[in-house]
A and B are shown apart, each in its own frame.
Chain A
Amino acid sequence: MTTMATPLIQGEKTFSITPEELDRKELWTAMGYKDAEPEGEICKTVESLVDRLVPAARIRYTWRILEAEKISPRQIVAGGVTFAPEGIICSYLKGMTHVCMYIATAGREFDMAVKELNAEGDVFKDFIADSIGTTLAELAVSRLGADLEALVDGPDNEELLKDGLQKSGVSMSYSPGYCDWNLREQRLFFSLFPEEPCGVTLTESCLMQPEKSVSGFFALGKELKRQPYHCDICRNKNCFRRRLR
């Protein structure tokens, strides 16, 4: 049994947002609208479901910064664990010295509220609720990204200074299951966290529960330069992230 690596620095946050704070453009994107907006009747239902579901959500994320190193064009070691995020992700990691591993979730409370809605048997509403959940989970990731940037760009932090992370570059977020990264590595990922981080569990098939949860990492490094996602070099032509671009 491996010993869990001690993170350089770690944190956890729980927060709620009001229905007004939910970014409608993000929500519409999750619903497939790209640059368009839903029309009146659809908007009405969206707003009533936002009012119903968003206040129920207790959004959470937990994170830990660990030393990391790219050991091959396809592999990295983080916190003593070897991952194979494959070539696409590894090509973005030049200059990486650390990673911020995280697990974020829209939370069990949201999940339960959606299950109650699902019992009503209206697939139109279920679809909107699903999109709200996606937006909330992505909001957690973007809040963590902002916190991380504030941390490395903020006032001197002893731990960050010691490891040379002050004013580090912060990458985009990468997750198992995307950009060719085998979803089964989710299990390795969870081994870096205490049991049920933020109340999130993994099924045998590496599905996170609650469903609206995200795991991933941001790479950090003084020499690291953030690069946009290059969906054109990925073999997965059906990835939903590509469809949303």
Chain B
Amino acid sequence: MSELKEAIYKGNMIKAKAEVQAALDGGADPQQIIDESMIPAMEAIGKDFAEGRAFVPNLLLSARAMKACLEILKPLMMAENSTILGTVVIGTVKGDLHDIGKNLVAAMLEGRGFKVVNLGADVSKERFIEAARENNADIICLSALLTTTMGYMKEIVDAVREAGLSVKIMVGGAPLNAEYAASIGADGYSSNANEAVALAKSLMGA
């Protein structure tokens, strides 16, 4: 299985899928494949990114390979939920059309085993609440890249709390910081996609 770990680490999706299939053909347990090869690979690339030895494209390639492998394994698991760390509703807030950073976070979260409901950009508080309810979300993830739109995050946080949803809220985006996140009542802030995964996992108690 070290070949699988290396394939995911290097972002080689085709090889990773082939290795997963080979492991299954050899009688390996899907959960064991995930636990012993796939998650360690993602942890390794995340660590290298945090320490400056890997870059955003490396993270994305690994996440893409991981996601493709999970697609093979999910149908074979006893219950779909056993492969899901939690459900995240993610979007860029109303007035802001920046998509790319939020999509990086979504890809990384999916790669680490979260179910992600991506609402796109220019998303209203009503839409966030509706999607969180519909999907029984564990986390709402808000993104803003403009100083003119980050203020709307507080409106969303307040509306979510008022709606009585039992959901954690994490925020991110270039003009934000941890102090701002705390000041609007968010549960956490991350400055990049890699940190976002660690934050989401800690919010889930994983």
Contacts and interface: CB of A to CB of B under 8 A. Distances in A.
Contact of A123 (B60, B149, B174): B60
Given A183-B147, A203-B95, A204-B95, A124 B60 contact: yes
A126 B95 contact: no
B177 A123 contact: no
B104 A127 contact: yes
Interface in B150-185: 174-177
A205 B146 contact: yes
A238 interface: yes
B103 A123 contact: yes
B148 A206 contact: yes
B97 A207 contact: yes
B6 interface: no
A130 B100 contact: yes
Interface stretch (A28-36, A144-152, A159-167, A225-233): A28-36
Contacts of B175: 236, 238
Interface in A206-237: 206-207, 209, 211, 236-237
Given A124-B61, A127-B56, A183 B146 contact: yes
A239 B174 contact: yes
Contacts of B61: 41-42, 124
B177 to A, nearest CB: 6
A182 B147 contact: yes
Contacts of A25: none
B192 to A, nearest CB: 9
Interface in B79-120: 95-100, 103-104, 106-107
Contacts of B99: 118, 126
B97 A183 contact: no
A207 B146 contact: yes
Contacts of B107: 123-124
B27 interface: no
Nearest to A33: B55
B125 interface: no
Nearest to A211: B97
B166 to A, nearest CB: 29
A126 B107 CA distance: 12
A79 B106 CA distance: 44
Most buried by B among A36, A207, A239: A207
Contacts of A124: 57, 60-61, 64, 107
A134 to B, nearest CB: 10
A156 B177 CA distance: 50
A128 B103 CA distance: 13
B191 interface: yes
A11 interface: no
9 contacts: A41-B61, A42-B57, A123-B100, A127-B60, A177-B146, A184-B148, A205-B96, A236-B175, A239-B174
Which are the 8 A-B pairs with shortest beta-carbon distances?
A: A205-B95, A124-B60, A205-B148, A123-B107, A130-B100, A123-B103, A42-B57, A183-B147
Given A41-B11, A184-B148, A204-B95, 20 more contacts: A31-B57, A32-B56, A33-B55, A118-B99, A123-B64, A123-B100, A123-B107, A126-B99, A127-B57, A127-B60, A130-B100, A177-B147, A183-B146, A183-B148, A203-B97, A205-B96, A205-B149, A207-B96, A238-B175, A238-B176
